[in-house]
Amino acid sequence: MSSGPDTADAAPPENGEARRSLSEAPPRRFRRLKALGLTLVAGAALLFAADRIFPPDFTRAHERSTVVLASDGTMLRGFLTPDDKWRLPITLKDVDRRYVELLLAYEDSRFADHGGVDLIAVGRAGWQAISNMGVVSGASTLTMQVARMLEPIPRSLGGKVLQAARALQIEQRLSKDEILDTYLTLAPFGGNIEGVRAATLAYFGKEPKRLTLSEIALLIALPQSPERNRPDRSADRAKRSRDKVLRILAEKGAISWQDASEAMEDPVPVARSRMPFIAPHLAEEARRERPDTAEVMTTIDARIQSAVEKLLTAQRRTLGEGDMAIVVIENATMKTIAYVGSTDFWGETGQIDLARRARSPGSALKPFIYGIAFDDLLLHPETLIDDKPISFGAYAPRNFDRGFQGTVSVRSALHMSLNVPAVAVLDRVGPVRLSAVMQQGGAKLSWSSRLAGPSLPMALGGVGVTLEDLTMLYAGIANGGVARPLLRYADQTTGEPHRLFGPVAAWYLYDVLRGSPLPDGWAMGRGIDRGREVAFKTGTSYGYRDAWTVGWSARYTVGVWSGRADGSTRPGEMGRNVAAPAMLRVFELLPAEHGGIAPPPGVITVPNAEGLPPSLQRFSPRRMVAGLARSTPPPVIAFPPDGAVVELNDADPALILRADGGAKPLRWIIDGTPLPAVENWAQTEWTPKGEGFSRVTVIDAEGRSATSNIRLKRQM
């Protein structure tokens, strides 16, 4: 039977057709490879575009609590984030290195090698899930956990894919250390506690620099189920989770079984500790002044600050309804090393910063009046001055006890804080000048509606000034009469100096006020370390509203204010019996000192007024000087005039000083140092030591003076 067309073998193609078929095969394979390549490129481009369009959101990692630190890095106070979390700044260098090592051993042993997703762990987890018909172990890397901390991701298969994609993106943007920093910042530990630093402060009451094995295991366990494992909610569950971590670490060989067993014996915390809350008023101000800084380092000495706060906590019982503020300054640097704005921050008025509230200083301004007068050579501490009834127009000041002491030395007048002599000296110096000296020194002054500007009542407290500013000015006395702005932050540089008065005048104040009478009960060697010499002045404002004491030694200045936040009266509460004891106790808390402030050149040391030049033996009030002035004009420096630039001649270095007017004899003083007396009182010679600025003063027999501030310059 012959085969039909359906069963017959097909005839082989001709040779030409075969060659055409073979020649077409390579182009078809090429087209397929090309299509595959284009697909891969398109996919990569799509992934690249998606990565750029939908990058990881690092906002939460950057929204950290503001932390205010002491000068040694001790945390003074932290503040909640805008979403009410304790999320404190932290990096790897701030954490116990062993914690990081055990965290990686437990959570992600191949962290250093993978790119965000651990394929080996994924394969192992998948095989275990298939073999055991359920999830046995996870494959989440530390980077994937960071991805979930940065943004909410559902716990589903799709969520896992997104989490892995985010992990890959994070690895492209951050280094391994930066990823760990982010984990340390964001890891949840229950409630509003996020990050390792917040966790160790909340649960262990300490920074994470040094941790026990038990503490490390609890910190590893908590983020796995932060709400269920919270030790302050369920200590038993927290302990079981911690012990599980210890067993697994021992099984992996990361720790020994003996260490694990010993750590399991440690108790877990059962309550949250209070976050550090030191120098709250200064910390509040620091956050306001530096809102964009996560960590603000101040000049506060944490040890001294804590000791002062503890002192005031004990002092609170004796204050009744009153309050107290304290400022401590390191003189050489002008750093604020302790600052207390009130005794009870959480009290009814405790959040008012009373160290920055302008209040009447009472007699606490008297040293500056006398300092200016000392500088002008109107007075010397041994100069005699009258404490007698006197009127200045309609103003007739009286002493605190309503009595008068008669003629006393300036030293005694300042010791006893007599009002009439202080007002008489201010009348000569001028209230406008006093206010200018204080304001140029950095103090902000405020005036009542009754006293709209500088006037004689300033001598008795007729002006508003803050404790911080007044303490700063007193530190200027300690620094030889040169005031500089206070420093509160570690990165601040020394401010511009402003001269209150010369070093001789500043030392006179120190010499007088280091003999201030101590408060009752402090005369038997108590109060001041006898190796430390402290000068201080008290003040009490009208109506017993404010009690002040500011004291200074060679190294420190301490200012204390006591009163009520609402300014109401406290009868019988004075600077001497309320603020002075607190000031003395604060000095006891400061590092020891030995000796005092040495006298500068130019100091005149005499036992009494008789040893002084005639013009300094007795002070004359302005109205008496005005009567003399009708017959003798005041002295005027004819050469060198004020503001002059005087050229020095090396061949003939002596300068002629010449004055007109004034009651003879005249006395010349250069930068606080008197020149030798000469026959021709109106003219003398002075040989400068070199270039620079100098202050030339002439004073007549009635205490009137004239001054020229000059600049000395060598001839070119």
What is the chain's alpha carbon radius of gyration, rounded to the nearest angstrom? 40
Report DSSP letters for 314-356, one per residue. Answer: HHHHHHTT-EEEEEEEETTTTEEEEEES-S-TTSTTTTS-GGG
First to last CA, the chain: 137
Pairing label, strands 86-87, 193-194 = parallel
Answer for the pair 355, 468: CB distance below 8 angstroms, yes or no: yes
Q: Which of 356, 342, 335 is nearest to 488 (CA)?
A: 335
199 contact partners, CB below 8 Å, separation of at least 6: 187, 189, 193, 208, 219, 222
Element (H, E) at 171: helix 157-173
455 contact partners, CB below 8 Å, separation of at least 6: 431, 462
Q: Which of 65, 107, 285, 330 is catalytic?
A: 107
214 an active-site residue?
A: no
Angle between helices 503-513 and 467-478 (to 10 degrees): 110
Q: Which of 365, 374, 369 is nearest to 424 (CA)?
A: 369
- The rounded distance, in Å, linking the Cα atoms of 544 and 207 is 45
- The rounded distance, in Å, linking the Cα atoms of 326 and 297 is 20
Q: Which of 306, 363, 435, 615 is catalytic?
A: 363
At residue 197, the 3 state secondary structure works out as helix
Cα 513 off chain centre by:
30
Q: Which residues are 409's β-sheet partners? A: 384
107 an active-site residue?
A: yes
Please report where in the chains the tokens 């009266």 appear, as a residue.
569
- The rounded distance, in Å, linking the Cα atoms of 285 and 171 is 39
Q: Write down the H helix ranges in 174-301.
A: 176-186, 196-203, 213-221, 235-251, 257-264, 280-289
Just list the catalytic residues: 107, 363
